[in-house]
Each structure stands twice: as structure tokens, then as C-alpha cells.
Structure 1
Amino acid sequence: MSVTHEFPKDFWWGAATSGPQSEGRFHKAHRSVFDYWFDTEPAAFFDGIGPNVASNFYNDYRADIALMKQIGLNSVRTSIQWTRLIKDFETGETDPDGVRFYNNVIDEFVRQGIRPVLNLHHFDLPVELYEKYGGWASKHVVDLFALFAKRCFELFGDRVKDWVTFNEPMVVVEGEYLYEFHYPKLVDGKQACQVLYNLNLASAKAIAEFRKSTCAQLGGRIGIVLNLTPAYPRSDQPEDVAAAKFAEDYKNNSFLDPAVHGYFTKDLVDVLKTDGVLWESTTEEIELIAKNTVDFLGINYYQPFRAQRREIPYDDAQGWLPEKHFQQYHMPGCRMNPYRGWEIYPKAIYDIAIHVRDHLSNIPWYISENGMGVEGEERFRNADGFIEDDYRIDFIKEHLQWLHKAMQEGSNCFGYHLWTPIDCWSWSNAYKNRYGLIALDLVTQEKTIKKSGLWMHDVIQNHGF
């Protein structure tokens, strides 16, 4: 292979998944909000498929990790399920089977020469904590999360060096409290803002526990994974620019600035205060957030966000929503992934990388998710039973070209993870769209490497393409 886009020899080439999306519910001590939602409303899930089996990683983890190794992945992110590891949320008492399982998974990753990156929360709040306390709207739940994090560091910190507090916390805010695509499907802007603050506080408290742990003393590090949707204005008119600025502050900077700089974006705080929806906080909490910033950033990038000034007056009768200050702009002629309704705009990965370089102290960071979900992927399976997903190869290549350019210009990126290693269960979409380098047959649970997996193997072997 002739390499025109060369990456560092120690670059992370990997993929990301999560516990609730891969493991199945086998022997879990408790139900998450998604387990509960499926049990009570199975018709809300595509084809009625819930998280009970998922990709059967609980039973197949050794063979699954071997397939990841066959592709050549040198790092993989997954998550520890709070509902699997902890028996008693108030005391932090652990469940023996959960401890056994995660020990075995970590040991298998290490044995096969794959760096495990462990995330502590991937949308899977224990439903008991929602029913009892109101979930992430409760600061008591924040404290229980810090206790869960402490147990994880104690149990696994001798082997796991890379930790993540949250994956895409903004999705919790938007899905559960604004736009009704995750249980409990509320529309409550003021509560959404409190949840946004509490998630930042929970991340900082988990980081504080990490700093005290032997894991930190052994050279470990901790970060957060944020889904960034760079906000581009429709035009250079001041009203459009201002609309995009608020969208950027709310959707992206509300987690970026506290995580990296230790403080909330002043413009955002001023607007939320004026609108009467600013969160409740204490001086001690603000100081804790300031002192417990991340060691690295994971950035999930799938699509941009395009904003314009409001042309339809905002209806205050619906309560506060971020859209009070912008409207989404649908740019004519843009490329789309029709299966997700998402714009394909690879250059944004470059814009993100330069923003990290210039405005986020050039903190070490990596692409923690990027990928293309395709519905009905079976139609691309050839006579030999092999999925020829050239569209995915093209998608990855375009994004890596822009990432490579940014790295050449000094952005401190150390890796690229695709979503996902093996086709996984995806919340209410279930298996509607497939993202994996490895195909999953839902009936037989057979797993086979796709053409994109073979292409990725060559990229890894050659440190580029």
C-alpha cells in the first residue's frame, strides 16, 4: 500500500462500543432506564428488539475480542454498567458476577494486546435512581455516581490506564429532558439545565475520586467523551452568527469548557440567567469543578449543526427550550446519510481539531467515535457471505484525510476510534442501522468481518493509507 496519509506509530487505531449496547442483560443485578423502557414499551423499539441479548458480548467476549484483534485494533472503548457492577447503590457494595465479568473482559483485552478504555456512563442510569430520586436532576445521584466511580478505580485501576467519566452527556439532557427520544421523554427546559449542570458536577466528582486513587498514582488518566456538533451560521449576518454562537455555547461549550477549563461559558450563563432557567449551584461545587478538569478529551463527531436567526417567533407557552435563541437551518444541496437524516460534512473534523488546538489549550484528544450507520446492510452481502461496505470505507477515509491535515497543523490528536467494532444494539433504533467493522447475524449470532474491517487492518498495518 502506498501511504500518502501517515499517522504516528503509537496512534490509537480502535473502535468504541458500550456495555448496555453489547453485553445483553444476562445476570444483571438491576435494570437501567433503557431496560425498564423496553420492558414497559417494547413497541417503541425498532422491530421490537430490546437490550436483552444485544451482541451477546457477555457470553462471547473472548471470541469477540479475538475478532477485534484480527482486524488489528490496538485500543477499544467500552463501558462498565452501573447496573451490573453495583449491588447496593447507597453503600457501593458490588455484585460478585459483575466484578468477575469485568475482570475477565479486562484481562482478555490485555492478553490480546488491546488497550482497554473504560467509560463509566453510557446513558444507562439505574432506573431505581430515577424512580427514587429523579435521576440526574438529583445531586444525591451525583454523589452515588462518584461512589460507583471510586469502586471501579479500586477494582480495575491496576490494569486500566484510560478512563472516561461520561459518554455524550448532552444526549442525556436532550434525549430525556428536551426532545423526547430517550426515557422518560420529558420536555422541561429548566430541569434540562439543572441536569446539564449536575452531569458536569458528577464528572468532576468522579475525577476527584480518580485523583485520590492508586490508578492515578500508577500513571492512569481520565477524560470525558463529548459529542460535538459544530454550529455553523446560515450567513455572516449578525443575527445568524449570534444564533450559531448560542447553539455552540449550549450544545458544545456547556460541557467542553467545564471539562477542560473548569468553568462554564460566561455568555451561556448570562443567557440562562436572563431566561430564568439557570441551574442551582454552590460555591463549593463550582470550586470542585474548577479543580477537577480532564487529562484528555474524547470527541464523537457525526454531523454538524447549522443555525439561523429565528424567523418564526418563539412560543413561550411551550416553556423554555434552547431553540428560543436559534432555528435549525437545513442547507440546500448538502450531502446526507439518508438512513439517519444526518449531514455528511467531513471538514468539520478539521474545524474541531483546530478549535481544540487554539481554544482548548491543545489538550491531548482523540476521535472517540465516528461512523456511518446504514439500514438494510444485508443487501450488500455478496455470494460468499461477505458485506462489501465500500461506502463506509469512503466515509472513514474522507474524515481521516481532514484529521490528518489538522494533525499536520499541530492539533494534538492521538487516536481514531470508529463506532463500532461489532454491529451493536442502539437504543430505540435497536439494529435498524449497522455501524460495525464486524457484521452480526441476529438469528445465529455469527460475527464476520466486513470489507471495511479488512481495509482498516491494512491502514493499521501501514500506519495510514
Structure 2
Amino acid sequence: MKFLTIFTTLLAVSSAKKCIVKAPASNAADANDVASDVETPSENVDAPAEISDNEGKLNDEVDSNDEDSNNENSGKKSGKLPASFKWGAATAAYQVEGAWNVDGRGESVWDHFTHLYPHNVETGRPGDEDSISGNVACDSYHKFEEDVKMMKIMKANHYRFSISWSRLFPDGQAKKEKGKWNVNEKGAEYYDMVINTLIENDITPLATLYHWDLPYALHEKYGGWLDYHSQYDFAKYAEFCFERYGDRVKNWITINEPWVNCVAGYKNGPGKAPYRCTGEAPRKLQNDTTGLDLLGGCSYEIGPSQYTPDSEVLPANRPPQRLEEVWCSHNILLGHAQAVKVYRDKFQKKQKGLIGITVDGEAQIPWEEPNMTEEEYANNEKYANLAAEFRIGWYSDPPITGDYPESVKQRMGKDLPEFTPEQKKLLKGSSSDFLGWNTYTSHWAAQVKNEDGTYVEPPTDKEANYENSKRDMWDDNCRGRGDGWTCIPPTLGSQAGSSWNTKYGPTIRVGLNWFAKRYEGLIKNGIIITENGCAQPNYKVSRANDQVTIDYFKSIGKEEFADAYDEDMIEREDDLEGTLIHDTYRIDWYKQYLENLRLAYVEDGVDVRGYMAWSLIDNYEWENGYETRFGMTYIDFYNDPELKRVPKDSLTFLGQWYTENVEQE
């Protein structure tokens, strides 16, 4: 799909408010209209024609009966989000539940690989396995009612949580024989409790089926998502969840962030389990392991894998192979589509729920510098859209349009797997109910230049492969990377408390408009921001008084986007009276991002239906451990055995924002 990117037009005219982008007349109903006069675009669009007639009728029926059909979107807008807006917070099972081996739960890849390679987690206490894993985490398995109390403070009407696959099916394989599932009943009862408790508190469940915690048994059996069998095991697991919980759960997310699961788990490791990586050979497979840290590094432990029914079977316990992340992505998208088919064929008509996928990815901003020509900037505009197609469209196009973006296919050549005609039909429209987007930061984008100032040329069709696909494409939120993946300033916004995380409020508006333009008429119940938030600058990652970034934005006349801060903003683990609880940086983050979301709805007419703040509580932040805190609720993981929940100022702020900016019934 070819179209002119809106990145430049969105950024061209900025309002006086800090870090808020104002759309030009071409993207609003009328350049002279105030916010309350912008018309809402038509919605309740029919399902794509390629979906079967039966499915098309089903979606129409769901729309007409769905309590979230957003009738408030018709007519004039008030300047506020509609009363039906999905508002809440998000968590993930492995990050908060704990109870990793309690009541019959099976081992996930995160359990297995954090225990096997504990040094891959950057913080923790020596000898304390719980401090580097999700063994206990927030103990939400036993303390969920305390979490609900925190939701009430922010006035949440929705809660996004994930279900632990291995808690329900320890070996990963759901089977139904003579009308009875082989489920771990204690685990199933836990999610009954979660769902019922939410409903009793007037909070709508938004359930994610998979948030990276693959049952280890499937990794050991066939390599997890690298094997084509994974899509069918996932669909059977999903079928149980629909059958057991679908009478109460009306909002389903199949897969969370397939890019992170696959690229970070199977290529860029050892950041995410299962710690596969192509940049470093597993230390345990070295001929001489003397002096090597065998408690860290990349893994080799894996089952024999078959990418497709026609592929060769790769041997077990092998070094990472080229293109593992590509095949993981391919099969995980098919797993999503298979689960959606089960839901639509067997459950959706009766249960009248919605189902979609959540993708992540940075909105792309054309790189700008003083004295840049119009031609250079237009070229960077083109590359911003191209980068978005690679970073986001790779995962969002198939569930909407049925195939990978043309640019990705052209540049990847034979290295990109092809969907069969049957698979394209299965995928197309599989996220037409709604699309979830996790958004945190933006990336600049540009065409790479040689040392002599000439452009690096795109790969030819003959040169097309994975390694060459982006050789002429640069996208990042800083101008380079130093030791430990640290950003070299200037950065696109201020540096938050995680290396990849910078505060740039307009990203949410730019990205929402990109989706709305690309998938116009193809998503029936809009876009939900399923994650957004930040880690407060902390002792591990911060950049106070960043003069380089200030000077850069001054040089292009956009000083407000530098968003610099002083050292007193940096979070300290031992200072409860400081920004650990009084998290002013996080409050400003939410203020900027939410205002840009509101404007995307009110001024741009983007059909955005919800916002889930990440995260409800401090939790296990994957390879960063427990001292990178994204929560709006403080927990002292090391010194408080009760794991008491202490609300931060940001939690109260969000409750106030909701009252002031969302229509109250």
C-alpha cells in the first residue's frame, strides 16, 4: 500500500503546549474548527470482502450488540474522550503473579532460562534466585485483591492482564477428551477468581492469551514458535480459554508484541527468554569453557524444530540459526490467526466479544537538521514510512491485510517466508475487530549516507536478503549507541529510566494517525493503546541536564521537544520521600502522551478506543530485574516480605485525568 506519510504534516505545526503536535487542516475536519466541532469518521465498517460471508455477518452482529460500539463517536465531539473509552492499566502474568511452581503450574521458558542463566538479569542479590526471576514477583497470585485497590485509585474501568499458558497446561498441550479438558484445575480457578473479582468491582477484563511466557515443555519438544506445530497448540489452548472464560471476558488479545518475543528472544539475546542470539555463540558449546561465565550468555538448549510441514527437521540442542526470529514471527502470526478462527467459528456469535492482536513499534519521525533541503527532508519522510513498515507493518499488516508489506517482501527476498493462499485468507481481517498498539517512544528515520555525503543505495532485487534489507535505512531515538547499548545524545526526547525509553509525547499521535491512514476502513472497533508508560530516570539509566539534546532541538527551532530535567528527578532506591513515590517525571510523561492521544481523537478523528497504562505496579522488568520500575504503585521487593502496595503520585494523577478528560455518564 502506497501513500504519503503524515509524519511531516503532523509535526509541521506544533501548538504552544509542551510536546503536543497539532494536525494541519488536511488531517482535521476543518482547519478553523475548534476541537469540539471535528466530525467523527464513519465506523462499523464491514469486514474485508475476502472474509467469508458468515464471518462478515458475525462481525456486523458483534458491532450492533457490542457495548463498546462507541455510539458517542457519531456527531460532534466535546473535546473529551467518550464515556465508553476503555481506561485502565496493564500487567503480564510472569511479571506479577509469582507462584511459579505452585498449584500445578508448569515451567515457562522464563522460569527455565532465568534459573539456568541467572547472570543474564542485570540486577539482583547474590545467591537469591527470587531476585533475578519471576518466582515471587509481586505475588499477585495471592494478593490480587490488593492490585484491584490500586486500580480503583486510577478509576480504571478495564484491566489488561495475561493468562499463564503453563499454569493452565503444564506441558503446553491442551486436549479435550470425552468432553473434559486436561487442564490444571487450580490454575483455571485462579483466573476465574481474577475475572470475577474484576467484574464485581466494575472493571472489565481485557485478557491477553500470550505475553512471552511459552511453556518450556513446548520449547523442549519442538523449539516453540520456531516449529509450525506451535500454531495448533496455541489454538487449542486458546479454545479452552474461550470456553472457560468467554462468558465473562469480552475483549481478547491473542499475542502480545510478536516482534519483541521473536527478535529479542531468538536474535538479539540474551535479553529475552529463551536467550537465543546470532551475535554470540553459546558459551556452553565452546571447546574450551575455562574462564567463561556459564551462568550467562546465549542458550543452545532447544528441541528439534520444523519451520513448516515441508521443511527439514533441525536437530535438538543446536546453536542459534540464521533467520530464527523471522520464522518465529511467521509462526506466531499464524498462531494468532488460528486462535481467531477458533473464536469466530465456535464462540464469538454467542459470546459477542472482540478479538485482536497487540503489536509494538516506534512511530517514525523524519530526521531533521539545520539547513536541510526540502528534497532531503522529503527523502527522510519516505524512509520514516519505510522504517515503520519494517518495524510495525511486518506484524500489523498480516492480521489486517493478509500479507507482509510489499517493501518487506521486496527487500527480504527469499529470506522472508511466504504465506500460502489459505494462510493469507486465514490472516486477513483476523484483527479487524480491533488492533492493540504498545507505544513508548519514537525513532528518527533517514536514509544512510556514505562518508562522502552520498546516499547508501537500497538493495537491488538480486541483493535482497535479510542482512541487506535495511542497509540504507537508519532508525533510532539517538544518534548512536555506546557501551551497553547506551544512547549517544541527542535523543528524541529526554532519557527515561530504561535505555530504549525516551519521553516524546507526540509519538502516540503520530503513530495513531499512521495506523488510521494505513488501515482506513479495515478496523471495525478502533485502536486500543494496550501499553504506554515509562521508568522514572534512575541510578542505572538517566541523562540529567542533557545540553547536547537541548542544543540540537534549539538548532531546528523545536526546543520544547528536548524535554530536559535536573538531577533531582533521578529515582533513588533508598529515598521513599523522593521521586520513587513522588514520580513527577512519570506524571509529565502521562500528561504529554494522553494529551496527544486526546488530540488524535478530537482533532484528527482517529478511532482510538482505549488506553492501558504500563504498569499498574512495579514488577519484574524482564532482563532488567526489579530495579527498573515502570509501576504506578511502589513495592519494596527486597525488604518487605508482605510486598505491600504503595500508590505513587502518578496513580492519583491518572484518576484525576480520567475525570477531567473522559465524558462521565
- Letter matched to residue 59 of structure 1: H
Structure 1 residue aligned with 2:655: 457
What residue identity is the alignment partner of 1:270?
Q
Given that residues 223 and 297 in structure 1 are in contact (C-alpha distance below 8 angstroms), is that contact kept between their aligned partners in structure 2? yes
- 1:184 matched to 2:275? The reply is yes
Distance 2:329 2:583 in 1: 37
Q: Which amino acid aligns with 1:50?
A: S
AA partner of residue 284 (structure 1): E
The corresponding residue for 1:340 is: 498
Name the structure 2 match of 1:320: 467
Q: Which residue of 2 aligns with 1:392?
A: 586
Aligned-partner residue type, residue 353 of structure 1: L
Greater alpha carbon shift after TM alignment, 455-464 vs 398-407: 455-464
Aligned residue in 2 for 1:351:
510
Given that 1:386 and 1:451 are in contact with CA atoms closer than 8 Å, whether structure 2 keeps it comes out as: no
The within-5 A match list for 1:236-315 is 237=376, 240-241=380-381, 243-273=383-413, 276-290=414-428, 292-311=430-449
Map of 1:213-228 to 2, 5 A cutoff? 213-228=346-361
**2:167 counterpart SS class:** helix
Q: Cα distance 1:114–1:139, how it changes in 2: closer, same or farther (>3 A)?
A: same
| Code of the aligned partner of 1:294 | S
Would you say 1:406 and 2:489 are equivalent positions? no
Asked if the contact 2:355/2:431 (under 8 Å) is kept, the reply is no
How much does 1:344 deviate? Answer: 1.9
User: Is the contact made by 2:267 and 2:324 (CA closer than 8 Å) also made in structure 1?
Assistant: no
1:107–1:333: structure 2 CA closer, same or farther, 3 Å change rule?
closer
Structure 2: which amino acid aligns with 1:51?
Answer: G
CA contact (8 A) 1:121 1:166 kept: yes
Name the residue aligned to 2:529.
Answer: 367
Residue type at the aligned position of 1:123: W
Match of 1:200 in 2: 333
Are residues 1:136 and 2:225 paired?
A: yes
Instruction: Supply the distance in 1 between the matched residues of 2:581 and 2:365 (Cα, whole angstroms).
Output: 35
Partner residue of 2:613?
Answer: 418
Corresponding residue for residue 566 of structure 2 = none
Give a deviation string over 1:166-219, Cα, whole Å, max 9, x none. Answer: 111110122022311222322255222222221211111110011023344221
Structure 2 CA distance for partners of 1:155 and 1:215, relative to 1, 3 Å: farther
Matched residue type, 2:366 = P
1:66–1:112 CA contact under 8 A, matched in 2: no
Aligned length: 458
- Name the aligned partner's letter for residue 371 of structure 1: G
Q: Which runs of 5+ in 2 are unaligned?
A: 1-77, 125-131, 176-181, 279-320, 369-374, 451-455, 458-462, 480-489, 539-570
Structure 1 residue 21 displacement after superposition: 0.7
Closer, same or farther: CA 117–321 of 1 in aligned 2, 3 Å: farther
- Which shifted more, 47-56 or 281-290? 281-290
CA shift for structure 1 position 462: 3.2
Question: Once the 2 structures are TM-superposed, how far is the Cα of residue 225 of structure 1 from its aligned partner?
Answer: 1.1
User: In structure 2, do the counterparts of structure 1 residues 334 and 306 end up closer, same or farther at CA, with 3 Å as the change threshold?
Assistant: closer
Partner of 1:112: 201
Which residue identity lines up with residue 529 of structure 2 in the other structure?
Answer: I
2:156 pairs with one of 47, 50, 73: 73
Q: Structure 2 residue aligned with 1:14, among 82, 88, 94?
A: 88
Alignment correspondent of 2:548? none
CA shift in 2, pair 1:326/1:119, >3 Å: same
C-alpha distance in 2, partners of 1:173/1:52? Answer: 23
Shift of 1:319: 7.5
Shift of 1:306: 2.1
Distance 2:356 2:234 in 1: 16
Structure 1: gaps of 5 or more residues: none
Where 1:185 maps in the other structure, the secondary structure is coil
| Greater mean alpha carbon deviation, residues 243-252 or residues 360-369 | 243-252
Query: Alignment partner of 1:417: what SS?
Result: strand
Could you give the per-residue CA deviations for residues 359-389 of structure 1, whole angstroms, max 9, x where no partner exists? 2126311211111112345466229x98111
Looking at structure 1, the residues matched to 572 and 611 of structure 2 have their Cα atoms a distance apart, in angstroms, of 23
User: CA contact under 8 A between 1:189 and 1:320: conserved in structure 2?
Assistant: no
Show the counterpart of 1:175.
264
Question: What amino acid maps onto 1:37 in structure 2?
Answer: F
Q: Distance in 1 between matches of 2:209 and 2:343?
A: 12
CA distance in structure 1 between the aligned counterparts of 2:88 and 2:79, rounded to whole angstroms: 17
Give the helix-richer structure, 1 or 2.
Answer: 1
Distance (whole Å) between structure 2 residues aligned to residue 333 and residue 436 of structure 1? 23
Distance 1:333 1:339, change over 3 A: closer
Q: Which structure dedicates a bigger proportion of its chain to strand?
A: 1
Distance verdict in 2 for CA 1:401–1:279, change over 3 Å: same
Q: Distance in 2 between matches of 1:399 and 1:406?
A: 11
Residue 242 to residue 105, structure 1, CA distance change in 2 (3 Å): same
Structure 1's 357 and 242: CA in aligned 2 closer, same or farther, altered over 3 A? closer
Q: Alpha-carbon deviations, 1:123-175, whole Å to 9, x = none?
A: 11112212221211111011101111111101100000000011111101220
- Alpha-carbon distance in structure 2 between the residues aligned to 1:338 and 1:439: 17
| % identical aligned pairs | 28
The superposition leaves residues 425-463 of structure 1 with CA deviations (integer Å, 9 ceiling, x where unpaired) of: 111112121111211121320111111111122222334
Q: For residue 590 of structure 2, give the secondary structure of its aligned residue in structure 1.
A: helix
Distance (whole Å) between structure 2 residues aligned to residue 358 and residue 324 of structure 1? 27
Match for residue 172 of structure 2?
A: 89
How big is the shift at 1:269?
1.3
Question: For residue 370 of structure 1, what is the amino acid of its counterpart?
Answer: N
8 Å CA contact 1:158–1:215 kept in 2: the answer is no
TM-score by length of 1: 0.91
Partner of residue 134, structure 2? 51
- The CA deviation at 1:353 is 1.7
The answer as to whether partners of 2:230 and 2:331 remain within 8 angstroms in 1 is no
- Paired residue secondary structure (2:123): helix
SS of corresponding position for 1:455: helix
CA contact (8 A) 2:633 2:646 kept: yes
